[in-house]
Amino acid sequence: MSKINIGNRQLFFTCMGSGSPTVVFEAGLGDASETWTHVQSVIAEFAVTFSYDRAGMGQSDAAPIPRTCQDMVDDLKLLLAGARVSPPYILVGHSFGGMIVRLFASQHLDDVAGVMLVDATHEDRIAGFEKILSDELVERNRAYLNDPSHNSEHVDRVKSDEQLRNARQQFDFPLVVLTRGLPDELDDVWPSEDLQRVEQELQREFLRLSQNSSLVIAEKSGHFIQHDQPKLVIEAIRKVMGK
């Protein structure tokens, strides 16, 4: 565990294990690196592993806000270089972290050996939701998304979604999509089963990003598969690594 200065602020990271490639873990929105503690400790038994707290999370210094996916990709690139963690990387991203690792992979293709998406956020998620939500819920959702102060990391979601759309491309490396099998437990106002159906359709869209892709459904998991079924996550990482 350590901190590195990436300019005018420090980011906290944990690097464990030995070997190559390095498995880099990216947490979901509002989560610190501790969300990966168990999975990282197991993977570190046979590979180098790297997790970190994004700016303003956990033990890392804050950064100017609002933030975008591109800001986070730039931070990660600087942090890996500063920590002297050499590529190739296998990128593992949960939820919003899936957007970060995809953008990183698109911009640093030569550094990436594989990607694993853990119930990752799709940039067209909101458009898909709006097709089934009532006008009232659409307005409520847009009010939340259009104001970065409404999320814990002050992320400009609209701009970040656009960054992902502009960066879409085909990957040659292995891609594993791990998605939850259980819907979110929402109140009666939100159509949770219909929203889950849209989510599942978008998860399958990820498969088009690589000709070497596969889908795993965590039947007993909610959104945090790394907590509900960590063995599935570990097995999927092994698959990406070819172990």
Give the residue-averaged pLDDT of 105-131: 94
pLDDT for residue 186: 62
Question: Higher-confidence residue: 95 or 189?
Answer: 95
Q: What are phi and psi of 165, to 5 degrees?
A: -60, -40
Give the residue-averaged pLDDT of 211-218: 96
Q: β-strands 89-94, 112-118: how paired?
A: parallel
Mean residue pLDDT across the chain? 93
Residue at token pair 């849209």: 198
pLDDT of residue 31 exceeding 80: yes
pLDDT of residue 49 exceeding 70: yes
User: Which amino acid appears at position 155 of this protein?
Assistant: V
Is the sign of the CA dihedral 173, 230, 216, 75 positive or negative? negative
Give the least confident one: 43-47, 126-130, 182-186, 192-196.
182-186
pLDDT of residue 94 exceeding 70: yes
Q: β-strands 89-94, 48-52: how paired?
A: unpaired
pLDDT for residue 205: 95
pLDDT for residue 129: 85
pLDDT above 70 covers a percentage of the chain that reads: 98
Give the residue-averaged pLDDT of 88-103: 98
What domains can be seen in the chain, in order of their start residue?
Answer: 2-241 (3.40.50.1820)
pLDDT of residue 73 exceeding 70: yes
Give the residue-averaged pLDDT of 148-170: 95
pLDDT above 90 covers a percentage of the chain that reads: 80
* pTM beyond 0.85: yes
**Model confidence over 219-241: pLDDT tens digits?**
999 999 999 999 999 999 999 99
CA dihedral 130, 121, 198, 180 (to 10 degrees): -150
**Model confidence over 200-209: pLDDT tens digits?**
999 999 999 9
- By the 8 A CB rule, do 148 and 65 touch? yes
pLDDT for residue 135: 87
CA dihedral 205, 210, 211, 216 (to 10 degrees): -60
pLDDT for residue 187: 62
Give the residue-averaged pLDDT of 133-162: 91
